[in-house]
Homo-oligomer: A and B are copies of this chain.
Amino acid sequence: MNVLIVHAHNEPKSFNSSMKNLAREQLENQGYTVQVSDLYEMRFNPVATGDDFLKRIDPEYLVYALEQRNAYKQGGLDPEIGAELEKVKWADFIIFNFPIYWFGMPAIMKGWIDRVFVSGYCYGGTRFYDYGGLRGKKAMLSFTIGSQKHMFGSRAVHGELEAMIRPIQRGILGYLGFTVLPPFVAFHVPYISHEARVQYLRDYQERLQNLDRLTPLEFPSLDDFDEKMHPLYKEVE
């Protein structure tokens, strides 16, 4: 199995970066081939602009997704994007490792999503969810978050954690067709003890050893919708 770890933390000595290092070592020990895209180290450019295309269909008016589709077909994507897209194609399993910033990804990782998951190859038209261009591949989030665990839940102050990361898990990964494994979450990381951090790393290691036993998240199937995306059945059974 080929594994890509997309990692975004601005401190290489952070606990979050240790999670990335652990995942690389552990998965290599399990016999997998691992590549890491360390976005801060790479100084990855997260801003989607017309410069992302070597040649434009319309140099006067930018429609980003349209230019993605054309540039992908013509081999005219910016080399930084092209190299990352090759890793995506190569990977059977992608781990996104990051600290939660504002209940989402740090901008440098959001920009990787914006620029690398190109229209035309990764999705397009009615190629999404179970017909997404990356179906057959697995993905998983592994993240640290400042909040405590009890701050999430049906009656908790922030509501369900799952609801806060829904645009990522369903709107990005599920949409693209990935089989999405449950996220690995380390809570309250800036404030916890050394022992608690070591325990999180043990838990993460165990998680990585048991990837095959995880039950993937569920997303809609386009088989339940017509070609204009109206639901096929009036009643949910």
Contacts and interface: CB of A to CB of B under 8 A. Distances in A.
B171 A46 contact: no
Interface size range on A against B = 35 or more
A113 interface: yes
A82 interface: no
Given A104-B110, A106-B114, 6 more contacts: A10-B49, A10-B50, A47-B107, A107-B107, A110-B110, A166-B167
Interface stretch (A73-81, A87-95, A155-163, A200-208): A155-163
A13 B47 CA distance: 18
Interface string A84-121: 00000000000000000111111110110110010000
Sort A-B residue pairs by CB-CB distance and give the 7 closest, nearest first.
Answer: A107-B111, A103-B171, A103-B167, A46-B107, A11-B62, A107-B110, A107-B107
Interface string A12-25: 01100000000000
Interface string A43-84: 000111110000000000111111000000000000000000
B110 A105 contact: yes
B48 A106 contact: yes
Contacts of A30: none
